[in-house]
Amino acid sequence: MTPSVRPAVSGTRHSRRRRNGQVLVIFAGGIVALIGIVAVVVDVSWYWANTLRVQRAADAAALAGAPYLPGNPPSAYNFADVEATKNGYTSGSGVTVTPIQDSLNGGSDPRQLDVTVSAPVQTFFMRIFGLNTIQATRTAKAIYVQPVPMGSPLNYYGVGCFASPSGPQPVCATSPTNPNGASGITDAAGGGSQLNSQGFFGAVITKGGDSQNGDAYGPANDNYGGQTVNPTYNPAGVYYSITIPAGDSGGSVSVFDPGFCAVQTPKYGTGDHWIAGPTNPVSTYYNLWNTNGTPFSPPLYSLVSASGSMFENQATSDTTFGGPGGLGACDAYHNTWWKIASGLAPGTYYLQVTTTKVDTSKDGGEDVLDPAVNQNTNAENMFSIEANVTGGTTSPQIAGAGTMVAYNNLTNPSGGAQRFYLAQVDQKAAGKTLEIDLFDIGDVSSTATLTIEDPDGGVYNNVAFNYSADALCNNSKGNCTGTGVTSIQSTFSDGTHPFNDSWLTILVPLPATYGSAGLTPPGETQPGWWKIDYTLAPGSVGNDTTTWRVSVRGNPVHLVVP
């Protein structure tokens, strides 16, 4: 072997050793980098999973607290904290739960609750770099939309045409095409001025009545279409909302003709009448509740005043109107105002009207106290409500709180349209769907057509809508559903009214631009009030008791998506 060969062999071995060493270093470095990447992925994934838990807890807390706004922020905050705790997050040890009313958080809506939940998330591999925890912070916003006001933008509700057999007739009694004429009822505030008619009276049918007469909640019976029990009977009756604005004082609530006193056809006075004959007494109860800013939480209501036995067991008739005699005299508040409460502070109150005797000591009067009351009585009592204040500059408002029962004497010798306030829908409903539910409409003798008007753009126009009725609808005229229509024929020339004892659901899609060009047509005092028009053929006669419900789908409580 020559000397020149050995150095080459030796150099090759050293080169291989160097390369082997480099590969080992690179491999070791790669392992470290891979472990680091895995560590980051594991910790980031763990952090992301925990932020979802934090977000869900914030969402649940916001939804739990929002129903107590705008009137009771302390309860809203408390229930938000309780719900966050249920989901594993209680303030302390690095965890913070911060509920706050939006109007106190740089926002403008006192009905919205903003909840921020912040909690430390433990790390695994990042501890190598000194990161033991990463703070996860998420915010949720939930808004509480109060029940849609119905039937009246004014300080009175359910004031119809008060007719009598003698004396001058109110304008609205002889001209149904002008339902806003003088009603014949004097303002409860005094001074002798007459209230303008709203085209209907408030109404309630007794527990022993039949829902097919138009009240979906008062009667326990339903003897139509093979039924015997009314599935929507509610012993708590219907609530009417009274708002005393901030800055006002000395609020009062009065009820016109609160008791039952039967009157002769064509239902003079407010129209009280036995439906199945004057055989059993009638009891009506009025309970005024302070909602304490929580309209959706009856257990938090406090009772302000109640009629008690004042209008209980009445079997009377107005003999001056020629009603059935020998049944006793009417109560002292027949055809006049009864003040149920005075000295009310600003706030939202609910007047509960029911013919079932309920327990007013708790639960917002939702529990039945005496199931025998009105059990065998089939009668209807009509009334009106008015609110006033002694101090302040803003007028109170009374409206149906998402539901209402109305009675209207639809007799119209000359035909024409009767217009009613339906509901107030504010601009916040833009892009959503308005749901209108009407029960048992169309009890007149000849053709009647219903249309709906919205105030979008500051002008009243008929709206297009879809509608469908429940299984009790009489489809002999093919009129139980409709798509993209602007009217519904509720009664036909032969007297057929398809919606007897039937719920009719109307869906109106609201454009994203709803309200952007105004919602107050000329002559209106408040924005957003929709109307219903009944167009009657000449000679149409009858009286129509109906139940109305209005809601914005997605309400009342929902999360606000940023």
pLDDT of residue 179: 56
Residue 190 near residue 522, CB atoms below 8 Å: no
Topology of domain 410-562 in CATH is Jelly Rolls (2.60.120)
Residue 71 near residue 294, CB atoms below 8 Å: yes
Cis bond leading into 298, ω under 30°? Answer: no
Return mean pLDDT, the chain.
86
Q: Which residue has the higher pLDDT, 146 or 299?
A: 299
Q: Which residue type does 131 have? A: L
In angstroms, what CA-CA distances link 507 with 394, 434, 442, 511, 553?
A: 34, 6, 19, 13, 9
pLDDT tens, residue by residue, 405-422: 999 876 555 566 778 899
What's the rounded Cα separation, in Å, for the pair 172 and 196? 9
Half-sphere exposure of 149 (CA within 13 A, CB side): 24
What's the rounded Cα separation, in Å, for the pair 150 and 429? 15
What's the rounded Cα separation, in Å, for the pair 206 and 214? 11
Q: Please, is 483 exposed, middle or buried when counting C-beta atoms within 10 Å of its C-beta (0-12, 13-18, 19+)?
A: exposed
Tokens of 553: 């789908």
Of the pLDDT bands very low, low, confident and very high (cuts 50, 70, 90), residue 362 is confident
pLDDT tens, residue by residue, 273-287: 888 766 689 999 999
- Of 183-192, 335-344, 366-375, the range with the highest mean pLDDT is 335-344
- The three-state secondary structure class of 428 is helix
Residue 312: pLDDT over 60:
yes
What's the rounded Cα separation, in Å, for the pair 184 and 200? 13
Identify the DSSP state of 146. Answer: P
What's the rounded Cα separation, in Å, for the pair 66 and 520? 29
Residue 117: pLDDT over 80:
yes
Of the pLDDT bands very low, low, confident and very high (cuts 50, 70, 90), residue 208 is very high
CA 462 to chain centre: 23
Flag the least confident range among 8-12, 150-154, 155-159: 8-12
Residue 556 near residue 67, CB atoms below 8 Å: yes
Share of the chain above pLDDT 90, in %: 54
Q: Please, is 166 exposed, middle or buried when counting C-beta atoms within 10 Å of its C-beta (0-12, 13-18, 19+)?
A: exposed
What's the rounded Cα separation, in Å, for the pair 116 and 138? 6
What's the rounded Cα separation, in Å, for the pair 173 and 533? 17
Identify the DSSP state of 210. Answer: B
Q: Any idea of the CA torsion for 177, 192, 259, 173, to the nearest 10 degrees?
A: -20
- The three-state secondary structure class of 377 is coil
What's the rounded Cα separation, in Å, for the pair 453 and 264? 35
Tokens of 134: 């990463």
- 3-state SS, one letter per residue, for 322-335: CCCCCCCCCCCCCC
Residue ranges covered by each domain of the chain: 12-144, 201-409, 410-562
Residue 531 near residue 452, CB atoms below 8 Å: yes
How many CB atoms are located within 10 Å of the residue 428 CB? Answer: 16
Q: What is the rounded average pLDDT of the residues 481-498?
A: 91
Closest to 285 in 3D by CA, of 363, 206, 397, 232 = 206
Q: Which residue type does 556 have? A: P
Of the pLDDT bands very low, low, confident and very high (cuts 50, 70, 90), residue 1 is very low
φ and ψ at residue 533, rounded to 5 degrees: -115, 130
Closest to 382 in 3D by CA, of 262, 238, 502 = 262
